[in-house]
Amino acid sequence: MDGSFAGVPAVLAEGRRVIGNVERLASLFFTKTVYAFLLAVSVSVAVVPFPFLPRQLTLISAFTIGIPSVFLALAPSFERSPGNFLGRVMRFALPSGLVAGAATFAAYALAVNEPNISVSEERTVATIVIAAIGLWILARLARPLTVRRRALLVAMTVGLLIAFLLPSLRALLDLDLPRPLVALAAVGVVALAFLGLEVGDRVAALIGNLVLRLRGIGLQSKLRRRLSETK
């Protein structure tokens, strides 16, 4: 505005920060949309109660999406945007949401089929699984993990642990810690979900690099043909 080019680097950095943070938030919120839709369809087909109470959904959303999104929206992020905003959001949110929804429903179904288990325990299993996977998704979106982002992840984890371990909060949220066998099955499902998310990232990166190489080879061959035609 003052006619000086000295402000251009700061303007460029601010634009990159806004684009990068909006992409992170869009990926985070759309991931929730995907797994919520998948869970709604799954419980409808299986004819079982929805695995969460509204207060439990509030707990999950607050510590895996709501509070972190405030900090991620204001975090410094000066990496250059590679473009294709919608495609990048979809490539992250769709597989992440599918893994989160499938893992949560699998753990919930195992708990429902366990004899002599209360509805509160079944819902607690689902809440634990989706909360753990939500934190892992948040950690993936926060990469590279700076000191502040690590502190954010630790704070969100501690907040969830307090909600699960403090008796008064458990009673308020209608959470009932499951028996060891059911809890162990939930841990196994969470571990498989973590593995699936990380393997998916590696596979997506490999496919992306392969596509870029094939495009590069195609461009080189076109350029060579044009050069030969001009000669």
Structural domain spans, the chain:
5-201
Asked if pLDDT for residue 79 goes beyond 90, the answer is no
Alpha carbons 166 and 43: distance in angstroms, whole number = 29
Question: What is the model's pLDDT at position 34?
Answer: 93
Q: Which residue has the higher pLDDT, 49 or 222?
A: 49
Alpha carbons 221 and 65: distance in angstroms, whole number = 47
Task: Provide the whole-model pTM.
Answer: 0.81
CATH topology of domain 5-201: Calcium-transporting ATPase, transmembrane domain (1.20.1110)
Of the candidates 8, 7, 131, the one whose C-alpha atom is nearest the C-alpha of residue 59 is 131
137, 28 Cβ separation under 8 angstroms? yes
Query: Which residue type sits at 210?
Result: L
CA distances from 123 to 62, 70, 231 (A): 17, 28, 73
Query: What pLDDT, in 10s, does the model give residues 167-215?
Result: 999 999 999 988 888 889 899 999 999 988 888 767 766 766 676 576 6
